[in-house]
Structure 1
Amino acid sequence: MAGGAIVSTGPIKNYNGGMTAFVLITCVVAATGGLIFGYDLGISGGVTSMNEFLMRFFPSVYKKMNSATTKESQYCKFDSQTLTSFTSSLYLAGLIASFVASVVTRIFGRKVSMVTGGAVFLLGAIINGAAMNIAMLIIGRVLLGVGVGFGNQSVPVYLSEMAPAKLRGALNMGFQLAITIGILVANLVNYGTAQMKSNGWRWSLALAAVPAILMTVGSILLADTPNSLMERGHMEKAKAMLQKVRGVSDVDEEFQDLLDASQKSKMVEHPWRNIMQSRYRPQLVMAILIPFFQQLTGINAIMFYAPVLFKTLGFGDSASLMSAVITGLVNVVATLVSIFTVDKYGRRFLFLEGGIQMIICQIIVGVVLGLKFGNTGQGSLSKGYADLVLVLICFYVAAFAWSWGPLGWLVPSEIFPLEIRSAGQAINVSVNMFFTFIIAQIFLALLCHLKYGLFLFFAAWEIIMTVFIYFFMPETKNIPIEEMNRMWKQHWFWGKYIPDDAVADHGIQLSAGKGMA
């Protein structure tokens, strides 16, 4: 507390209104933006395990995989920086695009950003499906990355702003559910196209156009959020939209809090500079560490390369693709569990339980692979051990899907005040994309060099992130999005960073003269 003063922050507000059919339909349509991200996560691993694709674009990897005389370790057969560049280039493009998307989202609204993302992703899907060489593959992947960057920047913010506070967690997780559905569909597509005699990989890549069209058309039909309308000066439209999404005419209290936040937002000419102020320290730390930790769970390594990983562990071609389908199905079901529990049990509970479950699964998988493959990586797992590894990976995927998966997008999108929300979400997405790129680029090399120790490496990071959540992440369930400063002010550690003038009885109070200095 500043100067040792004791500040009473008052009770958290409960605004009028609740869930309406309009909000439900709007959020379902917006959440389809997650399909493009999920489809891409799932499709790349399956395509890179297809012999025809490898023969055409990565013949050295194909030769290494199919040589009868090779002494290559099982862990190292897919280790190719060119191959990983195919997967990872998308996320580097997404990182850069997220900063552009931040400006578009703030100036033109969340809707325009979503439409842009869907349209660019569609172009990338067309180029990838028609690819004749590695250059076309990479150009297509870069365009897909731009689409993902715009979608991931705008959709979670859109969902958090539309949803009533008590259901914000469940509705926001619609984005993560769409991601998991996209992954499952991609795994099913890969399983089907792998049976084709030729050009199966083209169909896998080109069918990314379907979720892109859904996102683009759906976004065109959406209404913009009250927060975004107000941020751009459309006060009457903002109030009318707030009444529509809440289903009641008396929205004066919530509208006034949004207005206060909007007025403060307009005082901020440089959100990127202001986000560095100490009053935003807890939000900034969360926007950096949560997506950083999310990638170091190791989940995307499994989602990218699930068929490759299972093939490495001794599964056949069809069995490896079907195992990826099974983990994709677990991912969807477990995300549904999260949707129905996040607003009841809270974010902290799911973070902590999921973290502990992932730690246990990663350690056991690492031990099993260490005992059966050792450091040489020669041989293969027996059916019993292979099934055990598959079950453990399913439990691991389930734990991620009801914790760090959806919460990694939900929590950062709901904690930023309006004046720095676009900048904060851009940081969240860019950190996510950067470490997704790093993991995608180095995973196969890490698997080759760390071998079974790679799973223990991820388990160590999961211990660190679970401890971090326990001590530093307060509960955000049921708190109105413009009332979050009260929560930070009450926290044992973050409270010292929040000045007294940042919390008032009616939302965020404007301090006289130098409130944003």
Structure 2
Amino acid sequence: MAVRSSSVMALGVAPESQDQRRYGSRITAFVLLSCVAAGMGGVIFGYDIGVSGGVSSMDAFLRRFFPEVYQRMKGGKRVSNYCRFDSQLLTVFTSSLYLAGLITTFFASTITARCGRRPSMIVAGAAIIAGAALGGAAVDLSMVIFGRVLLGVGLGFGNQAVPLYLSEMAPPSRRGAFSNGFQLCVGLGSLVAQLVNFGTEKINGGWGWRVSLAVAAVPAGFLAVGALFLPETPNSLVQQGEDRHKVRALLIKIRGTDDEGVENELDDIVAADRYKATARRGLKMMVSERRYRPQLVMAVMIPFFQQVTGINAIAFYAPVLLRTVGMGESAALLSVVVKQTVGVGATLASMFAVDRLGRRTLFLVGGAQMLVSQVMIGSIMATQLGDQGEVSKACALVLITLIGVYQAGFGWSWGPLGWLVPSEIFPLEVRSAGQSIAVAVNFLLTTVVAQSFLAMLCHMKAGIFFFFAAWLVVMTAFVYLLLPETKGLPIEQVERLWGHHWFWKRFVERDSEKEEARAINDCP
């Protein structure tokens, strides 16, 4: 038994607590409908990720707003294959959304903590509707960019509130599947964007890009209207000081049972709110107090690693990348539709596997799959594509296949888990602040990748894929050594894991000792 315990601790997986209390719950239609409505936030996020790459590869859009890029693409200027789309102004079109989201998320954190998850989702829907309308009606580049900024404001609120809402509403035994539903919605949104782009590219008159940008208002409308009728989460109600009887009645409705498990869950939520008087200092607490050091590291590193997988480089610019190797406009857009379909299927598989196999297993397997794919893509690009000319049809087909394999690896690992794990590891008193850190890092790295990828592709050429592959090695090792397994644990009990972890326990135990000493000194 001692050998088994030692092995488990070495892997970063804590043994199950002997006094862990189980909650009574089942999957109810009420909670399913609530989470589906909230999931529209993920659809919006995915749509905005997917639509920009397709729009920025459309001839009509480039000819109107980026004529210099259009001339290079059409051969008007002789440049390297890797530099055809290199334009900082073009990347601003993509990255402005994420920069706005980065700035917004800190304001969204305050509103989400003080007012609840629902108000943030309503603000998100309204801002995105406005941004989509402005982008679709744009007559100059400044209108396009401002529309993207409004979309970013909406995503700042939506990405703050929706993952929290899903993780807090989900039954503990199925939290992984429900929270991974956010990434499934992201994948579906991106797939819809690719289908819309493929269809609008064929519209005569060169105004199809307007439709692509404006369609973002549809899921935003569902989110805003749906949020008006959604219940607030029990955790948020307790955080706002709501009456215990009202919260208990909501828990009974959500969980579909009135047994002792509901009381156990409510007791843990109330206990987790013991620091609510200092909840406004959540960000300061996260940074200054050692007991939150494991969560702080994860809040920074997991979204950081999610971005340096290279996924958004491919998500934003897959059509551009495929046109770089010689594909036509329609063929490139159709290939991306296939790629995204594979990603959605992989995320759906992850929803069924995450609560059975666990987070760590999917992280490790998906990381290895993406690593192999990136190395092979880089090798083919380096050996087959020069500065001029095109690759053969066979090589292009292999590249499309490898991108699909890479997308599948991301779809059942770092895609959904990059949102799930940060949403479930924070204690209630710092949960909104912790989520804001995770979302801010995500937006920051997304902005950096979106703004720099085309320039990196121009200067590093095929080496950029080896750059992302090296990060995949680092992040897989990070998960293996430092991330404990959280499957099956109620969200208010996840924080207990850190005290059993071979590395993180030194931070948690020292803080616990200080608290005990302080309590003893305070006794009369």
TM-score normalised by L of structure 1 = 0.94
Candidates 341, 345, 349, aligned match of 1:333: 345
2: distance between equivalents of 1:398 and 1:75? 25
1: distance between equivalents of 2:101 and 2:498? 30
Gaps of 5+ in 2: 1-14
**Partner of residue 96, structure 1:** 103
* Contact 2:31 2:169 (C-alpha < 8 Å) held by counterparts: yes
Offset, 1:67: 2.6
2: distance between equivalents of 1:398 and 1:201? 28
Tell me which amino acid in the other structure corresponds to 1:389: L
* Contact 2:373 2:402 (C-alpha < 8 Å) held by counterparts: yes
2: distance between equivalents of 1:391 and 1:78? 23
Q: Please state if 1:180 is matched with 2:187.
A: yes
CA deviations over 1:191-237 (Å, ceiling 9, x no partner)? 00000112001011011111111111111111000000111111232
**Partner of residue 150, structure 1:** 157
**Partner of residue 66, structure 2:** 58
Tell me which amino acid in the other structure corresponds to 1:126: A
In the TM superposition, what are the counterparts of 1:118-137 in structure 2 within 5 Å?
118-137=125-144
2: distance between equivalents of 1:155 and 1:420? 17
Tell me which amino acid in the other structure corresponds to 2:132: A
In the TM superposition, what are the counterparts of 1:248-397 in structure 2 within 5 Å?
248-250=257-259, 251-276=262-287, 277-374=289-386, 377-397=387-407
**Partner of residue 14, structure 1:** 22
Aligned length: 502
Identity, % of aligned pairs? 53
Offset, 1:11: 4.0
* Contact 2:177 2:354 (C-alpha < 8 Å) held by counterparts: yes
Offset, 1:502: 5.7
Deviates more, 1:263-272 or 1:201-210: 263-272
Offset, 1:247: 1.2
Offset, 1:500: 7.4
* Contact 1:176 1:406 (C-alpha < 8 Å) held by counterparts: yes
* Contact 1:125 1:144 (C-alpha < 8 Å) held by counterparts: yes
In the TM superposition, what are the counterparts of 1:402-441 in structure 2 within 5 Å?
402-441=412-451
Deviates more, 1:34-43 or 1:244-253: 244-253
Q: Please state if 1:489 is matched with 2:499.
A: yes
* Contact 2:291 2:511 (C-alpha < 8 Å) held by counterparts: no
In the TM superposition, what are the counterparts of 1:204-223 in structure 2 within 5 Å?
204-223=212-231
For 1:161, what is the secondary structure of its paired residue? helix
* Contact 2:309 2:468 (C-alpha < 8 Å) held by counterparts: yes
Offset, 1:267: 4.0
1: distance between equivalents of 2:220 and 2:133? 11
Offset, 1:511: 7.9
Candidates 32, 40, 47, aligned match of 2:48: 40
CA deviations over 1:289-316 (Å, ceiling 9, x no partner)? 0000000000001111111111011111
Offset, 1:10: 3.3
For 1:234, what is the secondary structure of its paired residue? coil
2: distance between equivalents of 1:478 and 1:279? 23
Deviates more, 1:442-451 or 1:494-503: 494-503
Q: Please state if 1:469 is matched with 2:469.
A: no
Tell me which amino acid in the other structure corresponds to 2:107: V
Offset, 1:248: 1.5
**Partner of residue 57, structure 2:** 49
Q: Please state if 1:166 is matched with 2:177.
A: no
* Contact 1:265 1:420 (C-alpha < 8 Å) held by counterparts: no
Tell me which amino acid in the other structure corresponds to 1:292: F
2: distance between equivalents of 1:88 and 1:305? 12
For 1:469, what is the secondary structure of its paired residue? helix
Tell me which amino acid in the other structure corresponds to 2:165: Y
Tell me which amino acid in the other structure corresponds to 1:260: A
Offset, 1:85: 0.2
**Partner of residue 242, structure 1:** 251
* Contact 2:106 2:436 (C-alpha < 8 Å) held by counterparts: yes
* Contact 2:41 2:158 (C-alpha < 8 Å) held by counterparts: yes
Distance 1:248 1:123, change over 3 A: same
**Partner of residue 76, structure 1:** 83
Q: Please state if 1:108 is matched with 2:115.
A: yes
TM-score normalised by L of structure 2 = 0.93
**Partner of residue 9, structure 2:** none
2: distance between equivalents of 1:30 and 1:92? 23
Deviates more, 1:137-146 or 1:10-19: 10-19
4+ residue segments displaced more than 6 Å: 508-511
CA deviations over 1:334-362 (Å, ceiling 9, x no partner)? 10010010000000000000000000000
For 2:24, what is the secondary structure of its paired residue? coil
Distance 1:44 1:513, change over 3 A: farther
Tell me which amino acid in the other structure corresponds to 1:342: V
Deviates more, 1:424-433 or 1:14-23: 14-23
* Contact 2:22 2:264 (C-alpha < 8 Å) held by counterparts: no
1: distance between equivalents of 2:264 and 2:56? 54
Distance 1:144 1:511, change over 3 A: farther
- Aligned CA-pair RMSD: 1.9
Tell me which amino acid in the other structure corresponds to 1:95: L
For 1:499, what is the secondary structure of its paired residue? helix
